[in-house]
Amino acid sequence: MTGVQMTIPFKVTKKCSFYGTKNNVMKEDFSNATARDSSHKYTPSVKKIITLSSSESDSDSDVENTKVSDNAINVKTPQRTQNSTESDEDHGSTPPKQRRIDKSFPLTSPTTPSTLFDKLNLESSPTKEEKLTPKRLFGTERYRNARKALHSSIPDTLPGRENELQKLEEFMEEHLKNETSGSLYVSGPPGTGKTACLSKLILKTEFKSKFKVIYVNCTTMKSAATIYAKIIQKLGLPPILAERKSGKYSKGVIEKYLSSNHKMLLLILDEIDQLESKKQSVLYSVFEWPSIHNSKLILVGIANALDLTDRILPRLQARCELKPKLMHFSPYTKQEICNIISERLSEANVSDLFTKTAIQMLSGKVAAISGDIRRALDISRRVIELAESHKLAQVLQPTNNNEINLPKKQQSAVDQPVDLKEVITVLNGIYGGSQNIEKEESTFPLQQKLLLCSLLLILNKGRNKDVTVGKLHEVYKKVCKKRNIHAVDGSEFYSLCSLIETRGILKLTRKKAARLTKINLEWDQEELDAALQDRNMMAEIINDITCL
């Protein structure tokens, strides 16, 4: 390293911000890079209580924490796990930088930005700029508490998901006891608590100690193959050198680790359908890991599509030991949404802000369309906001509620529900499924049933057999009008179609304009017919030619 001053002539293009100029970071003096100025950029330590946030992995206790700098930071970001293995091989092919800072030569290599960047990976955990504690406002305390309670952050208890939690727990315990590997695929529409359940589970103490948990959200991946590097990083293995950074090599490294002697490993891949690649090689290899001898790996994949493993991974069916166990999270029912909202409100001691009927009405609407709890919470939060802005009395009168809720709900796009009954029937028809219609029937939302009935009506009785979204919507509106049901509007209808598509009942061939999208029935028409004909109203609709 030369002692030449390295100035970095960056062109500074100042963005015009509303506050005049930004903090001029250019003027910052990097001569003392270890003890940095903490005025506005970096705070060396944040004592942070571990919040239940789905994305925080735990530090691995089997990796020795070698000389970590003395500030005991408890920020459990993924970055930390890498920090704890401080090895000088991190720099790929470059020789390790000198750590000795000589005050008399303030302009040696440690002052260059690249060292700063290296340090970023080694010593400093990313913390955001601090601010003053949030302001306390007067008066609106109760409203604010209610809003806070209804925010979609993950609560301590998950009402309405006890069965799923128990099933997951049993699955894990069984594998833990026998030290065997297994794979599980969790599916369900967005907003049904899949990630929340799993993140709650891995925070349980008995699992925390016995497992090494890796949680990866695949939406942050640039391409499917980068998942390997991410897993290596989380395992705390030494990073791959730059010249060997191919997917194949990193895959080999992981498999080597799996066959070696190690702790029980729990790998959770969220939004796993983002890993689709050419010939699905990535997904196949990921699902094949549990079959490696002595791998002691439990793999959990999470996605929306119910039939993902059958649709894009057909070869998994060939070998019994590779077949992942399936688990489905159905959309929340009206009663469940009711319970969740009331429970949250009562925890914050503001349960009198909502009348019973208001909650009933709200959850009924959401449950009829998608059963998405995020949506229910969002709508309820907005009702509170509205009530606050109207400066209403503390307790909303039911009459006011209707005035508040109804326009709100019509504004917010209401979602599509899927009728589990038809879905399950069809699933059984196609996949020889493991699920019973009778059990799941009640969890298929009403509007989605209506949509399917309208589709069947066209297919059975109509003259023109190729159905577009626009045409189906017209028929559906007539059906709804006849039965005095509130029909959802076009864009919401389109998203209903795509939700049903995730169940594998429909196939949409996308066009540029949503209205022209063609709908094909994937399932056996008679099966679906039979499933829907059980219910009086549905049977009526299917045979009602006047709506065409």
Residue whose CB is less far from another protein, 189 or 290 = 189
Residue 512 sits in the site that holds another protein (CB under 8 A): no
Q: How far apart are CA 126 and CA 530, in angstroms?
A: 57
Both tokens of 524, joined, read: 């056996």
Choose which of 56, 164, 288, 422 interacts with another protein (CB under 8 A): 56
Residue 154 sits in the site that holds another protein (CB under 8 A): yes
- Count the Cβ atoms, other than its own, within 10 Å of residue 543: 13
Residue 248 sits in the site that holds another protein (CB under 8 A): no
Choose which of 55, 69, 285, 335 interacts with another protein (CB under 8 A): 55
Choose which of 98, 410, 491, 525 interacts with another protein (CB under 8 A): 491
Choose which of 32, 41, 99, 170 interacts with another protein (CB under 8 A): 41
Residue 241 sits in the site that holds another protein (CB under 8 A): no
Q: How far apart are CA 292 and CA 284, in angstroms?
A: 13
Choose which of 267, 499, 519, 538 interacts with another protein (CB under 8 A): 499
Residue 261 sits in the site that holds another protein (CB under 8 A): no
Q: How far apart are CA 224 and CA 295, in angstroms?
A: 22
Contact stretch for another protein (CB under 8 A) within 43-51, 356-364, 422-430, 460-468:
43-51
- # residues contacting another protein (CB under 8 A): 86
279, amino acid identity: K
Choose which of 12, 35, 320, 545 interacts with another protein (CB under 8 A): 12
Q: Give the ranges where 203-333 is alpha helix by DSSP (H).
A: 205-210, 226-235, 247-259, 281-288, 308-311
Residue 279 sits in the site that holds another protein (CB under 8 A): no
Choose which of 146, 202, 221, 283 interacts with another protein (CB under 8 A): 221
For 521, the 3-state DSSP assignment is: strand
Closest approach of another protein to the CB of residue 446, in Å: 19
Q: Going residue by residue from 112 to 151, which x/- string records binding to another protein, judged by CB under 8 A?
A: -xx-xx--x---xxxxxxxxxxxx-x------x--xx--x
- Count the Cβ atoms, other than its own, within 10 Å of residue 422: 30
The answer to whether 422 and 528 have CB atoms below 8 angstroms apart is yes
Q: What angle do CA 109, 112, 118 make, to 5 degrees?
A: 95
What are the distances in angstroms from CA 269 to CA 27, 163, 298?
A: 43, 22, 11
Task: Enter the DSSP assignment of 346.
Answer: H
Residue 188 sits in the site that holds another protein (CB under 8 A): no
Contact stretch for another protein (CB under 8 A) within 100-108, 221-229, 330-338, 419-427:
221-229
Which run of H or E residues covers position 198? helix 194-202
Sequence-distant (≥ 6) Cβ neighbours of residue 11 within 8 angstroms? none
Closest approach of another protein to the CB of residue 386, in Å: 10
